[in-house]
Structure 1
Amino acid sequence: MQPEAQAVFAALAHDTRLRSLVLLHHHGELCVCELTHALGMSQPHISRHLALLRETGLVADRRSGTWVFYRLNPTLPGWAKRVLRVTAEGVVGESPFAEDARALAAMVDRPDIVRCA
């Protein structure tokens, strides 16, 4: 499913979705537990916004046991990839994006090392 421009920009307009997309851009694939830790938000809140991003076609997911991992949808059209890239690169040092990156970097037991427990 190719996202429509209106849906992409509507998704970017919400703080939780934008922060999640920026982290996914920089890290490739993240578990829901990593996003909840980095953003300091509850799992139901993050999952609700990730579901909207998935329905819009911006992210893809995969299951590994009971955990769900998200990444930017590899089939995004070029214009959408460019918008996300330029946005993520443009806000990298700004608040709250810099704090999100630091929180994620400080997370112990990241799923790529040890599965979430």
Structure 2
Amino acid sequence: MNRIIIIGNGFDKAHGLATGYKDFIDNYWINVSGHIFNGYKRLLEEHWGTINDPSPYEDEFVLFEVFRDKQHKMPEPLYPQSNSSPYNKVRELIAIFNDSTNMRYKGSVCLTFKNKFFEHISSRCSLNN
């Protein structure tokens, strides 16, 4: 069995710094969401009743594609869960865009993980230090 032993002086914990695995994963999804859904611009557009196309995005972990029709939507709707993590918020927005009853947005979006391990820890998002 492989093991990783991390030795630290506790400075981060003593000063309340967000240095856990979950903190890094949440920060990643906050950044991805900002790239895809344009952050504040998206919030204003939703508030005033219009939805613009999300932006395509790709990095070493995920591929986010935008299509002009509903044919490419993800197979199952991913509606909000009890956990309001940044990853689940992204999944909720994807479900809204792909909802066939959503008349404000005619297209669809697809999130594909390039790294299965990252998909697993994002969905669990319950790793502790």
The TM-score, its normalising length taken from structure 2, stands at: 0.28
Answer 1 or 2: higher relative contact order, Cα 8 Å, separation at least 6.
1
The TM-score, its normalising length taken from structure 1, stands at: 0.30
Q: Higher helix proportion, which one? A: 1
Q: Tell which structure's C-alpha radius of gyration is larger.
A: 2
